[in-house]
Structure 1
Amino acid sequence: MEKYQKILAVIDPTTEEQKALKRAVELAKKTGAMITAFLSIYDFSYEMTTMLSSDEREAMRQSLINDRIQWLNDIIDSIDHQDLTIDSKVIWHNRPFEPIIEQVLKHQYDIVIKGTHQHDKLKSVIFTPTDWHILRKCPCPVLLVKEHSWPINGNIVAALNVGSDESEHQSLNVKITEEAIHLSKLILANIHLVNSFPGTPVNIAIEIPEFNASEYNDSMFNHHKEAMAKHAQSYSIGEEHTHVVEGLPEDVIENLSNELDAELVILGTVGRTGISAALIGNTAEHVIDRLNCDVLALKPDGYVSPMAE
């Protein structure tokens, strides 16, 4: 059974260029998935017109929704999607991420695909609050799409945490690797596993003169290298496709994905709730901010969205 049977493609109301929908079609052509093109709209001025009765307001809202459905259907018609089913759905809501996650919870979508915006001058990607909310709270995988294409024989980078004994990290490593293998077969790409590890904390080296920093670094490197080799072997991934590098994850992953001109980076967002959800194991957010390719963010097994409660 193919994994991605139901795709929710988030439509960007500010542009005709719908990267997420195009990527969804690209994926669905390989998996036969059904796609829902989903748009959430809101116009504050419609809520403020006290002159209007609630019926009149509702009628104005509905005409705006109908107008957007027509616009969306025209966009769908302009994309080559023969033999694929694409439904459109437009909802009036003032917080765009909420209806997206509600749709996932209600209709069991397998993946959410959303485009990101590029800052014209800085050429870096701007993440909106909506993007972060979806990454933190969406129970299914989230694919954030940039301008990069997915050529055959490209590269997928799977960002792991193999040095950790925590069961959540270990099960996430399995999930990320299996996802990379699955997608590499779909889009005919090569897999690279990457793991960063921290160097010597500076304060230790200063406070304890006899502390041997290079010995410490060597043993850290060896520990991660062995863990990576064991993990890669269990999936028959060759050593030349594994990368263990000292440094911050955001630097290591960014450098490797640039070096390989990767199409896609797959990483885990450790699903926390409460206060720490605001800091989703923030490694993921720092990494995502810096990447110039698509990012697929996965949650650990058993993650429950705070919006499901």
Structure 2
Amino acid sequence: MKLQRLLVVIDTEHAEQPALLRATELARQTGAELHLLQVDYHPKLDGGLLDGHLFQRIRDTLVQQRHADLLASVAHLSQEGLKIEVDVRWSKHRHEEILARVAVLQPDILFTSAHPGNALRRLLFGDASWQLIRRCPVPLWLVHDAAPRGSNLCVALDPLHSADKPAALDHQLIATSQALQARLGLDVHYLHAQAPLPRSLMFDAEVAQEYEDYVTQCHHEHRQAFDALIARHAIDPGHAHLLDGFAEEVIPQFVREHNIGLLVMGAIARGHLDSLLIGHTAERVLERVECDLLVIKPAGKG
């Protein structure tokens, strides 16, 4: 994983900028360039009674002022020796502007501050963080808080591809985690969460009698696949954890108990309706997890 160019989304709705703080820390350790993107919009300046020319002048003046303000706010980082570029855009559709900049810049990582909302808010308003999880083609680092919650890194794997993830994605996640480990000196844990069908769904008496055999076989298959994946990458078995339970329940618990500051997960693009109603495992985990989340798509996928 290259760490040469980092794109950071500036949050105009909050005073704190956790994404900028985390990206700055990474840039100091790796020498990466920082590209800051701020997307502004105000509905009262979107046409209305103002003619097009006047609206354009007001918007341009505002963007220029915001650009100057942002540049001044990071001047101390430039003086420190970090390479920084600042870009301020005007757009009603924030995530679309971010994705357009990603397509042009091709950053190694996109940083944005995460402010998870409830499911209804996400359904109605399409929060930019959720849109980026679904559509961002480059690794997406969602920063939970300004201060890191832990000092270790954790990678969530899916060796049986139960979430329709391609087999290569797990290897991609491991390679990314090992690159971060080498560059940042992090302690890395690898985990896989597996959960058989609950007993409550076994209504047929004959099937229910075979339930224990099914659970044993299910665990054996997951253990075998997980161990084979870990062995292929020469990972210390003491840092490999097979968890029993649903990912959105056991992963946040593991994060709390093992001082995890960054959770690395894979995500695949689905159809629009499926994403809207069901959501990715990464989305459900983000709603509950209390650390940063690095979401990675299969190579060549958006």
Where structure 2 has 5 or more consecutive residues not aligned to the other structure, the ranges are none
- Aligned equivalents of 2:102, 2:133: Cα separation in 1: 13
Could you tell me which of 145, 152, 173 is aligned with 2:170? 173
Whole-angstrom distance in 1 between the partners of 2:203 and 2:6: 53
Distance 2:140 2:225 in 1: 27
Of 154, 157, 175 in structure 1, the residue corresponding to residue 154 of structure 2 is: 157
Determine the structure 1 residue equivalent to 2:184.
Answer: 187
Aligned to 1:13: 12
State the alpha-carbon separation in 2 of the partners of residues 271 and 106 from structure 1. 20
- The structural deviation recorded for 1:166 is 8.6
The answer to which of 70-79 and 282-291 deviates more is 70-79
- Corresponding residue SS for 2:142: strand
| Conserved? CA contact 1:113–1:145, under 8 Å | yes
Distance (whole Å) between structure 2 residues aligned to residue 195 and residue 24 of structure 1: 28
How far did 1:48 drift?
Answer: 3.9
> What is the CA–CA distance in structure 2 between the aligned matches of 1:275 and 1:267, rounded to whole Å?
22
Change (3 A) 1:284 1:208: farther
Q: Identity of counterpart residues, as a percentage?
A: 26
Alpha-carbon distance in 1 for matches of 2:104, 2:92:
19
Mapping of residues 1-309 of structure 1, within 5 Å: 3-50=2-49, 52-79=50-77, 82-117=80-115, 129-147=127-145, 149-150=147-148, 154-164=151-161, 168-209=165-206, 210-278=208-276, 282-304=280-302
**Counterpart Cα distance in 2 of 1:188 and 1:81:** 26
C-alpha change, 1:139 and 1:293, in structure 2 (3 Å) is same
Cα-to-partner distance string for 1:189-223 (whole Å, 9 max, x where unaligned): 11111111122333553313453323222221121
Describe the SS at the equivalent of 1:263: strand
Match of 1:307 in 2: none
Q: Deviations over 1:69-110 (max 9, x none)?
A: 122112212447622211110000001100100011122122
Would you say the 8 A contact 1:140–1:298 is kept in 2? Answer: yes
**TM-score (norm. length: structure 2):** 0.89
Letter in structure 2 aligned against 1:253: I
- Distance (Å, rounded) in 2 between the aligned partners of 1:36 and 1:106: 12
Q: Distance between the aligned counterparts of 1:160 and 1:190, measured in 2?
A: 17
What do you get for the CA RMSD once the two structures are aligned?
Answer: 2.5
Letter paired with 2:293: V
More relative contact order, 1 or 2 (CA 8 Å, 6+ apart): 2
TM-score (normalizing by structure 1): 0.87
Q: Which runs of 5+ in 1 are unaligned?
A: 305-309
Give the conservation status (yes or no) of the 8 Å contact 2:165–2:267: no
Q: Secondary structure at the match of 1:117?
A: coil
- Any idea what SS the aligned residue of 1:243 has? strand
**Counterpart residue identity of residue 56, structure 1:** L
* Contact map agreement 1:136 1:280 (CA 8 A) in 2: no
Give the Å deviation of 1:137.
Answer: 0.8
Q: Secondary structure at the match of 2:287?
A: helix
CA gap of 1:235–1:65, structure 2 versus 1, over 3 A, is same
Q: CA deviation at 1:4?
A: 2.0
Structure 2 CA distance for partners of 1:219 and 1:25, relative to 1, 3 Å? same
Do the aligned partners of 2:19 and 2:112 also contact (CA within 8 Å) in 1?
A: yes
Q: Could you tell me how far apart the structure 2 residues matched to 1:79 and 1:16 are? A: 18
